[in-house]
Amino acid sequence: MTFGEKLKALRKEHGYSQEEFAQHLDVSRQAVSKWESDRGTPETKKLLQISTIFGVTLDYLLKDEHTEDNQYNGGYYISREMIDGFLSYKRQGAKRIAVGVSLIILSNIFGCVPVYRQVALTLYWITMAIGIAVLIWHIFQPKRYQEIGKKPLLFDDTTLKEFRVEHEKNQKKYVLMIIVGAIILILSPQITLIADNYIDNNVSNGLSWFFHAGWVALFILAGIAIHAENMIAQNTQYMSNKSRKGQFTWVYVALPVTAIAVVIGILTNAWSPVIPIIVLLCILLVTVCKLLIERRNSK
């Protein structure tokens, strides 16, 4: 592959348009187009920026090869900047999902507020619509860093050591979030019951929905973050077992299905809108526990 072919392939892999990539490098779109058609080569400073953005070496960019993939000894080289970008991308996605689902749950609070029924119904549907819109917005976000989940990864020693140290710290934080979420889930009915004896029934019902939104958000944030970090930490083992390919892709299908089930439950009263979320979160919790066990056994 020529430099232009590699640059074009890398840009598309990372989900950048020519305009977006040009803005990152502070050049014109025409300059990027010229490089990709092999009618010119960037200056050294720009080559270093490209190397950093895509997590590849200058040798890879400039050496003419006859290969279709960004590979080094059968693996995909990943820099520290790319790791940070991938994890940030996943965390942002988790936040959008958590916000969307939480808003859908919290919309039920307006049914507990002692105000004019039409006002409460309007606020309910506005909050519900915003929550659904956030989830739809997340689904249609550009897909980036897809190669991390599809290829064996290669790290330099420094990057690997730094990531492992931070990974250990983050795992403890995420496990703590899950524990806090589980405590809220278990204790919320008792707290609501106690509150019902001392304060207005509407307030205690609203508090119950607030608790539901809290533990669901914690489970989503921690579960997706753990999965993202394990995609890197256990990449070699993950890729070596072909039967595991796509093992966790069900999560991305289950999220919109759960949102739809919640909406149906609210509109038709066929089931409690919380049930689909509880089912999904229980499955996520089991998955997270399984990942932690596999990680411990792999040491």
Residue position matching structure tokens 């010229």: 34
Residues with Cβ within 8 Å of 41's Cβ and at least 6 positions away in sequence, in order, are 3, 35, 47
Q: Is the dihedral of CA 256, 262, 263, 265 positive or negative?
A: positive
Q: Burial letters for 132-151: b for 16+ Cβ neighbours within 10 Å, e otherwise?
A: bebbeebeeeeebbebbbeb
pLDDT tens profile 224-240: 888 888 888 776 444 44
pLDDT tens profile 253-295: 666 667 777 776 666 565 677 777 777 776 677 666 666 665 5
pLDDT tens profile 38-60: 888 888 888 888 888 877 777 77
Q: pLDDT value at position 5?
A: 82
Mean pLDDT (the chain, rounded): 76
- Interior angle at CA 284, CA 141 and CA 133, nearest 5: 30
- pLDDT band with cut points at 50, 70 and 90 for residue 71: very low
- Token pair of 194, please? 């106690």
Q: pLDDT value at position 250?
A: 58
- CA distance linking residue 174 with residue 272, whole number of Å: 28
- pLDDT band with cut points at 50, 70 and 90 for residue 175: confident
The mean per-residue pLDDT over the stretch 99-118 comes to 80
Closest CA to 160 of 246, 92, 99, 79: 79
Q: pLDDT value at position 15?
A: 79
Domain ranges of the chain: 3-62, 84-144+157-298
Domain 3-62 CATH class label: mainly alpha
The mean per-residue pLDDT over the stretch 195-210 comes to 74
CA–chain centroid gap for 43, Å, is 35
